[in-house]
A and B are shown apart, each in its own frame.
Chain A
């Protein structure tokens, strides 16, 4: 690699490779054999070709903010950092697309588009740091995805290489491309199918105005029913979030968002659009919430108050980090109607395991983020946390949901994949992987468990750990 990469772009001394030993899931650490930092597509191609020839594993990495260990390095391979691909190549205001390199931060796309009144809609909580390449790998969501969709709905085209270093372009600036939808297949594939070197995203006109309603409820079930009520009324809010009392208490001490601390749960419901549309929708949402038994409601009067209401939600993870030495964040998605049942189940597990578990919840999409509080210095407590989390994830599967809504499987939830999918289904995933990467060199051992692994681990789970990047807001 020294023959074709710039100086200082091949790292192998421990002091240089140490920063790459983990991503956002710090419970798993592994020093990579080598870190490569290419700057051009041609260099990426040559790294991949060299690794394919030598049968050396390659793990691509963006900003390393992922929460499931998807960028955990290979001890016997190359960590391929895309950090130097940080240019916005083109913003086409008339066509409403931006062409960017994969190391561009999510928020930087909207910043580049802002002068044209446009923005990139998916807003994962780590958006000030996470990169679009990582978003493509994880199919990242955010708080606005009920209305504006996930990464897969907002990326038009990716360019990159297969494991063999063959160039591929998936998708198009046209509405579709001939043949199978390989773009949809690649998005969310956790770096297992290809390495992305260029991403074309869709830009949307920025809404003229937005307001948020904060509604208080005396119990979580009533709040859950209110969410269903809003949707039954034909309203798709821009954001619809729920927090329970332990979560509001944690954040109120931390940021002073002005939350109702008496409430068993609060809902934040945002409307955006033209001023007329927002007024109209706020009136309708308020009336639904009143009928649904909201105890109190406050509508943001101005942009400052709107941002203050959101600040608490966005600070939920670090706020919880202040009241406990460690916390474990889950990411299950469930049908909304099962919310009350699942929250009651989590309440019973709190008693069973003797651990507290505040809940924040993308209520609109049914995506739960229970946060189990524990102390990682106590191996026994870590073990209880793992058991607790495993029961929650399996409950999500049982009620018709999934083990991961937006954080990915990575190494973290790989054993639960054995619960969610049957052997035939896992085998087809592996056949799809082989179609793109016959030698199995791209991000091996992640996302899809081998049948042998499922047999060996059965229903045993091996996750745990706290989040780094405490400065990032986490949804």
Chain B
């Protein structure tokens, strides 16, 4: 199937001011507000367009399975350094970029948006557009590639994307230490302020896990400094955190995602917590809404999984930012065709 197919569908929907629900593998249907509109399946436009390991860039169409990208990169000992969650076997590359979610390596390597170099889009006026490219540095025009990353398909259909890739670390080891939440936050922030090859951290139920990645010599000396015991089967542990299959995530309580300054002290909230990203990401299993507490602490909270929360899944925006969001939405998608309401009810 071709790009023109997407253009036709969008043109047709815009003509009658209908709504389209852009969807890849549907693995992230739970994320954001409930999707609505006629289904536009992006999996019909698939395939790796180019990948040259020495250029550190992979370009692929939206319907390409994320697993295929991981596999191809692995064959060349490279990786998506933002370690995106799949949340299911059918996850697509386009869905990954549109959701904008990053995994355990986020605090060390950067977020998904940091790696996006260029995109090909179909906007709400059915125009095929290209921004950015395959080069590492590019300041020609506004950075619309990063703007659409994480926009949940509300601005444009991301038909193709180029992302920077990195070499997989030569050596990796995970250590486990007993720690209270206070102690864990203290460790995480102190380690991040030192030249240590920490590539992931996770704390829950009195146990802190820290992953070290890099050259063997550096990992060895850092492991001696940090102490604790070596965690067996570490890859399975980190996959469990990334994919939310870890025991922490397994109950029926709603799951909240709190993004906070890493030094924010433990928040006294009802429910269980799991802390990642050096203290910057805190998962909360609770039926109480933590959004006010998160905002007071300098961050924000998202209803990640569970029944709809009042006011929508995300923390509502302040008036000026809300107006800018509406204006941007109108610039990309004046008829409001693309994933209406998925990000904010008013968009």
Contact = CB atoms under 8 A, between A and B. Distances in A.
Contacts of B269: none
B261 A173 contact: yes
Nearest to A408: B139
Among A152, A181, A188, the most chain B Cβ lie within 10 Å of the Cβ of A181
A187 B114 CA distance: 12
Contacts of B216: 280
B90 to A, nearest CB: 25
A425 B130 contact: yes
Contacts of A401: 133, 135
B1 interface: no
Given A153-B110, A435-B324, A179 B344 contact: yes
Given A162-B320, A277-B217, A409 B141 contact: yes
Contacts of A146: 136
B207 interface: no
A428 interface: yes
Given A162-B320, A337-B55, A405 B263 contact: no
A455 interface: no
Contacts of A174: 259-261, 280, 298-300
Contact of B136 (A193, A333, A422, A435): A333
A179 B325 contact: yes
Interface in A408-445: 408-409, 413, 417, 420-422, 424-425, 428-429, 431-436
Interface string B238-278: 00000000000000000000011111000000000000010
A228 interface: yes
A127 to B, nearest CB: 17
B218 A274 contact: yes
Interface residues of B, number: 85
B193 interface: yes
B324 A436 contact: yes
Given A173-B261, A205-B194, A234-B167, A335 B142 contact: no
Given A117-B193, A274-B218, A95 B263 contact: yes
A273 B195 contact: yes
Given A181-B150, A276-B221, A436-B324, A429 B142 contact: yes
A179 B280 contact: no
Nearest to B300: A178
Contacts of B123: 428
A207 B327 contact: no
B93 interface: no
Interface in B270-303: 277, 280-281, 298-300, 302
B215 interface: yes
A364 B300 CA distance: 37
Interface in B207-240: 214-218, 220-222
A206 B192 CA distance: 11
Interface string A180-219: 1110110111001100000000000111100000000000
B137 A234 contact: no
Contacts of B147: 180-182, 184-185
Among A150, A335, A404, the most chain B Cβ lie within 10 Å of the Cβ of A335
A138 interface: yes
A334 B135 contact: yes
A427 to B, nearest CB: 9
A276 B216 CA distance: 9
Contacts of A409: 139-141
Given A337-B52, A367-B136, A401-B133, A435 B146 contact: no
A432 B142 contact: yes
Contact of B114 (A149, A234, A279, A281): A149
Contacts of B111: 175-176
A123 interface: no
Contacts of A76: none
A365 B190 CA distance: 31
Contact of A425 (B141, B146, B167): B141
Given A174-B261, A228-B54, A407 B215 contact: no
Contacts of A84: none
A403 B218 CA distance: 39
Interface string B193-208: 1110100000000000
Among A188, A406, A435, the most chain B Cβ lie within 10 Å of the Cβ of A435
A43 to B, nearest CB: 20
B21 interface: no
Interface in B292-345: 298-300, 302, 314-317, 320-321, 324-325, 327-328, 330-332, 343-344
A231 B54 contact: yes
A400 B221 CA distance: 42
Interface in B134-161: 134-144, 146-147, 149-151, 155
A433 B150 CA distance: 20
A34 B255 CA distance: 55
A118 B193 contact: yes
B215 A277 contact: yes
A3 interface: no
Contact of A145 (B134, B137, B142): B137
Nearest to A185: B147
A434 B281 CA distance: 34
A365 B263 contact: no
B189 interface: yes
Nearest to B334: A431
Interface of B: 52-57, 77-78, 100, 106-107, 110-111, 113-114, 123, 127-131, 133-144, 146-147, 149-151, 155, 166-168, 170, 189-190, 192-195, 197, 214-218, 220-222, 259-263, 277, 280-281, 298-300, 302, 314-317, 320-321, 324-325, 327-328, 330-332, 343-344
Given A139-B143, A281-B215, 17 more contacts: A153-B114, A178-B314, A178-B317, A184-B113, A184-B143, A184-B146, A185-B142, A234-B167, A273-B214, A274-B221, A276-B218, A280-B216, A333-B138, A337-B55, A365-B136, A367-B137, A404-B140
21 contacts: A94-B263, A149-B110, A172-B300, A174-B280, A174-B299, A174-B300, A175-B280, A181-B149, A192-B142, A205-B193, A231-B53, A273-B214, A277-B217, A335-B55, A337-B55, A402-B133, A406-B137, A406-B139, A407-B139, A413-B140, A428-B129
Nearest first, the 7 closest Cβ-Cβ pairs linking A and B are: A234-B167, A435-B327, A431-B331, A174-B299, A276-B217, A184-B146, A405-B137
